[in-house]
């Protein structure tokens, strides 16, 4: 029996409580925890896995994954992939990752999802290449100019490593400054000129890129195209320019004028008769010339038009009927050409050698022989002088 005046439920404990319970912070906290536990019991394991799918996603060949380096050994590199396990970079790529240290965060490509030892086989090189192809495609789409450094050369062009991918810059896509203008048969000199570009930085644009075919082509000409158009617009026929000789060939001289290519044809090198352009200029020499024609990609130049034509002066000393001495320089079926002075060449026509159709100039003249001739006619307007054999 309870003491008088004291409610019975004081001695009965919590289960005997029949009246309302006072609300306290402790009581509210306990209530919330009970609700959370009740809700947690309703979540299945499948639902838990689904909610954390990204954390437990299994590595798949071809995927790109991020991880932290666990160890760097001579023959392998181990990478912590978190819930996806541990990745292994094999010995063949150890040199590729020689600057990596424990704790470094890296990106790798999955080659094999699970090997026999449980590791995920990874490739750092492939990840770099995959990322490189993405960068290359973006630059191709935007026509962005990039800097490339040739690592090797062959007769077809320059080999380039760019964003971890091997590319090619063909000879045909080199600018006037770098194009190896040499005789077509001199392949050794072409290679020598291309080798001189190895290790030098060249501005270029990506001309073609195909990841599936592993094809990457660069163009230096495309990279300077916009600037060339502006410079072309500033030039006009008759302008005097300076340029660097980039090639000397049988038919003339190639000149680089601040990235624009010019050609001095053999007939425009000198007022004298030119047999070998290399007797007049050398590769690397700076020359002056006059623009005589402009097309879309090249200037036609003249060196001789910057100096007075000596023919006009020397011809004044010649008179019709006068005897002159000259050297036979060419023999043709229609006659022989004779050099009277360095600037004047005249023709002895076959009609002056005798009558009949059986006259053969090669039986009358010997190449490089000196003979006496007679001046028959002087045509200053057409720059022609006719001779006959002196008697």
Summarize pLDDT for 123-164 with one digit per residue, the tens.
887 877 878 888 898 999 998 999 999 999 998 999 999 888
Residue 13 pLDDT exceeds 50: no
- Mean pLDDT, rounded, for 289-318: 91
**CATH code linked to domain 225-306:** 2.40.50.140
Q: Quick one: residue 143, left, alpha or beta (phi over 0 = left, psi -120 to 50 = alpha)?
A: left
Residue 184 pLDDT exceeds 60: no
Say how many CA atoms lie within 13 Å of 161 toward its Cβ. Answer: 7
How far apart, in whole angstroms, are the C-alpha atoms of residue 145 and residue 160?
A: 15
Q: Report the candidate in 262, 244, 165 with the shortest Cα–Cα distance to residue 208.
A: 165
The pLDDT score that the predictor gives to residue 74 is: 76
Backbone angles phi, psi at 201, to 5 degrees: -80, 130
The CATH H-level superfamily of 143-223 is Nucleic acid-binding proteins (2.40.50.140)
Among the residue ranges 11-20, 276-285, 304-313, the one predicted with the least confidence is: 11-20
Among 22-36, 49-63, 72-86, the range with the most confident prediction by mean pLDDT is: 72-86
Q: Provide the β-strand partners of residue 208.
A: 217
Q: Provide the β-strand partners of residue 286.
A: 244
Q: Which residue has the tokens 């077809």?
A: 156
SS (H, E, C) the chain: CCCCCCCHHHCCCHHHCCCCCCCCHHHHHHHHHHHHHHHHHHCCHHHHHHHCHHHHCCCCCCCEEEEEEEEECCCCEEEECHHHCEEEECHHHCHHHCCCCCCCEEEEEEEECCCCCCCEEEEHHHHHHHHHHHHHHHHHHHCCEEEECEEEEECCEEEEEECCEEEEEEHHHCCCCCCCECCCCCHHHHHHHHHCCCCCCEEEEEEEEECCCCEEEEEHHHHCHHHHHHHHHHCCCCCEEEEEEEEEECCEEEEEECCEEEEEEHHHCCCCCCCCHHHCCCCCCEEEEEEEEECCCEEEEECHHHCCCHHHHHHHHCCCCCEEEEEEEEEECCEEEEECCCCCEEEEEHHHCCCCCCCCHHHHCCCCCEEEEEEEEEECCCCEEEEEECC
Q: How many residues does the chain have?
A: 391
Q: Which two tokens stand for residue 388?
A: 């006959």
Among the residue ranges 30-44, 104-118, 183-197, 242-256, the one predicted with the least confidence is: 30-44
The pLDDT score that the predictor gives to residue 130 is: 79
How does residue 275 score in pLDDT terms, banded at 50, 70 and 90?
A: confident
Among the residue ranges 29-38, 159-168, 229-238, the one predicted with the least confidence is: 29-38
Q: What rounded mean pLDDT belongs to the chain?
A: 82
The pLDDT score that the predictor gives to residue 42 is: 52
What percent of the chain has a predicted confidence (pLDDT) above 70?
83
How far apart, in whole angstroms, are the C-alpha atoms of residue 385 and residue 374?
A: 11
How does residue 46 score in pLDDT terms, banded at 50, 70 and 90?
A: low
Cα 63 to Cα 54, 66, 93: the distances in Å are 13, 10, 18
Identical fold between 61-128 and 314-389: yes
How far apart, in whole angstroms, are the C-alpha atoms of residue 303 and residue 289?
A: 5
Backbone angles phi, psi at 7, to 5 degrees: -60, 145
Q: Does domain 61-128 have CATH number 2.40.50.140?
A: yes
| Domain spans in the chain, listed from the N-terminal domain onward | 61-128, 143-223, 225-306, 314-389
How does residue 50 score in pLDDT terms, banded at 50, 70 and 90?
A: low
What percent of the chain has a predicted confidence (pLDDT) above 90?
38
Among 31-35, 187-191, 224-228, 266-270, the range with the most confident prediction by mean pLDDT is: 266-270
How many whole angstroms from its chain centre is CA 351?
59
CATH of 314-389, one of 3.40.50.300, 3.40.640.10, 2.40.50.140, 3.10.20.440: 2.40.50.140
The pLDDT score that the predictor gives to residue 131 is: 81
């Amino acid at each position: 029996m309870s003491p008088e005046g004291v409610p019975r439920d004081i001695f009965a404990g919590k289960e005997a409580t029949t009246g309302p319970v006072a609300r306290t912070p402790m009581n509210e906290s306990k209530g919330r925890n009970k609700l959370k536990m009740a809700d947690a019991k309703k979540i299945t394991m499948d639902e838990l896995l689904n909610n954390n799918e990204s954390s437990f996603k299994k590595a798949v060949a071809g995927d790109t994954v991020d991880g932290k380096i666990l160890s760097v050994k001579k023959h392998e590199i181990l990478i912590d992939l978190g819930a996806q396990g541990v990745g292994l970079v094999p010995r063949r790529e150890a040199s590729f990752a020689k600057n990596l240290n424990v704790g470094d965060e890296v990106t790798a490509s999955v080659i094999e999802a699970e090997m026999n030892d449980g590791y995920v086989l990874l490739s750092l090189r492939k990840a770099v290449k995959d990322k490189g192809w993405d960068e290359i495609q973006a630059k191709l789409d935007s026509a962005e100019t990039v800097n490339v450094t040739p690592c090797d050369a062959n007769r077809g062009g320059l080999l380039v490593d760019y964003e971890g991918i091997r590319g090619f810059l063909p000879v045909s896509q080199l600018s006037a400054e770098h194009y190896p203008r040499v005789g077509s048969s001199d392949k050794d000199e072409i290679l020598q000129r291309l080798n001189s570009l190895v290790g030098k930085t060249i501005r270029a644009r990506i001309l073609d890129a195909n990841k599936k075919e592993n094809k990457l082509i660069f163009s230096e000409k495309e990279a300077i195209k916009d600037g060339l158009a502006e410079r072309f617009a500033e030039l006009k026929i008759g302008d005097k320019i300076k340029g660097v000789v980039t090639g000397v060939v049988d038919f003339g001289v190639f000149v680089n004028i601040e990235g624009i290519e010019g050609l001095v044809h053999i007939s425009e090198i000198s007022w004298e008769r030119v047999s070998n352009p290399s007797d007049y200029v050398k590769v690397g020499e700076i020359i002056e010339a006059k623009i005589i024609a402009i097309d879309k990609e090249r200037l036609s130049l003249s060196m001789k038009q910057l100096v007075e034509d000596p023919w006009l002066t020397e011809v004044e000393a010649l008179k019709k009927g006068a005897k002159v001495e000259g050297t036979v320089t060419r023999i043709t079926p229609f006659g022989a050409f004779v050099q009277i002075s360095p600037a004047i060449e005249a023709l002895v026509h076959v009609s002056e050698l005798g009558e009949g159709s059986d006259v053969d100039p090669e039986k009358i003249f010997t190449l490089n022989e000196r003979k006496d001739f007679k001046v028959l006619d002087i045509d200053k307007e057409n720059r022609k002088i006719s001779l006959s054999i002196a008697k």
